[in-house]
């Protein structure tokens, strides 16, 4: 016959019950800690997934702003968006990275300069511009120095937003070397945007260049987009009536662009 198990004393039974209770409490504490640790990444992945599948602009804006509110923590989710097949999703990913200041965000933005979609490349360039990171600025200067690079014009546009001595020197050097037309336009625009006084002689020389611009500089394209958004906004918007029938006047030639940059630098309207 098998021996029967000894019946625990009331004190031992109570101790066992206490141990089980403490183990359960410990498990709950660990589970709650894990939720707190992984809550933001889980939310970010979910919002990014919703952003890719939503067809309504209101919901797209909702999930975009949710992700943007995470700031640095949005970078991994933005990276997943940048790998999406649809260019409009990748544009959202690149734009989200404007709100992040991490090495991962900078790496993703630099990679975004090679995206096949022009909108993604432009969003990546502007994201790099708002980072104001010395390493990023140096990388952009190296890209601009090589006129054979397909991203030289975008690098000039980004440097024209960053400003600073290094950016100014790179833009001046590029204009001195007579860059390709598209690059020259972005360089001239950038020198005006950051008010580089040393550029005045070079810009005055550019007044003799009457070649038409292949496309408006990136700053003008962004302004056009913002202007169009105002015009297509709610009819009750206070600005709608004032903007009705208005349009932006943009320079059409290198000389006109140089004249605008000179006005920005010198403050003289007669150039």
Q: How far apart are CA 254 and CA 82, in angstroms?
A: 34
> Do 175 and 127 belong to one domain?
no
pLDDT at 8 over 90: no
Burial class (CB in 10 A: 0-12, 13-18, 19+), 95: buried
> Do 82 and 165 belong to one domain?
no
**pLDDT tens digits along 203-236:** 999 999 999 999 999 999 988 877 666 655 554 4
> Do 97 and 192 belong to one domain?
no
CB proximity list for 71: less than 8 A, separation 6 or greater = 99, 100, 101
CB proximity list for 193: less than 8 A, separation 6 or greater = 160, 161, 219, 261, 264
> Do 86 and 69 belong to one domain?
yes
Q: How far apart are CA 174 and CA 249, in angstroms?
A: 27
6 occurs within a structural domain: no
Domain that holds residue 88: 39-131
pLDDT at 129 over 70: yes
Average pLDDT over residues 52-58: 85
**pLDDT tens digits along 198-207:** 999 999 999 9
Burial class (CB in 10 A: 0-12, 13-18, 19+), 81: buried
Q: For residues 104 and 7, which has the higher predicted lDDT (pLDDT)?
A: 104
Report how many domains make up the chain.
Answer: 2
């Amino acid at each position: 016959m098998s021996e029967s198990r000894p019946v625990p004393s009331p004190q031992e039974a109570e101790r066992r019950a206490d141990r089980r209770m403490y183990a359960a409490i410990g498990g709950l504490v660990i589970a709650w800690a894990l939720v707190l640790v992984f809550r933001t990444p889980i939310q970010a992945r979910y919002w990014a997934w919703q952003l890719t599948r939503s067809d309504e602009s209101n919901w797209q804006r909702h999930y975009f702003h949710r992700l943007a509110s995470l700031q640095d923590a949005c970078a991994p989710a933005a990276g997943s968006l940048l790998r999406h097949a649809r260019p409009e999703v990748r544009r959202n990913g690149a734009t989200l990275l404007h709100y992040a200041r991490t090495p991962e965000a900078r790496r993703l933005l630099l990679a975004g300069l090679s995206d096949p979609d022009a909108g993604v490349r432009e969003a990546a360039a502007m994201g790099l511009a708002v980072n104001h990171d010395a390493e990023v600025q140096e990388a952009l200067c190296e890209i601009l120095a090589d006129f054979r690079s397909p991203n030289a014009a975008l690098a000039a546009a980004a440097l024209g937003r960053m400003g600073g001595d290094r950016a100014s020197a790179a833009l001046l050097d590029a204009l001195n070397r007579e860059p390709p037309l598209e690059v020259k336009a972005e360089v001239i625009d950038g020198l005006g945007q950051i008010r580089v006084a040393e550029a005045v002689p070079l810009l005055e020389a550019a007044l003799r260049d009457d070649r038409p611009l292949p496309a408006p500089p990136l700053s003008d394209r962004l302004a056009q987009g913002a202007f169009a958004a105002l015009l297509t906004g709610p009819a009750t918007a206070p600005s709608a009536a004032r903007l009705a029938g208005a349009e932006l006047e943009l320079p059409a030639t290198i000389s006109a662009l140089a004249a605008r940059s000179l006005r920005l630098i010198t403050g003289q309207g007669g150039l």
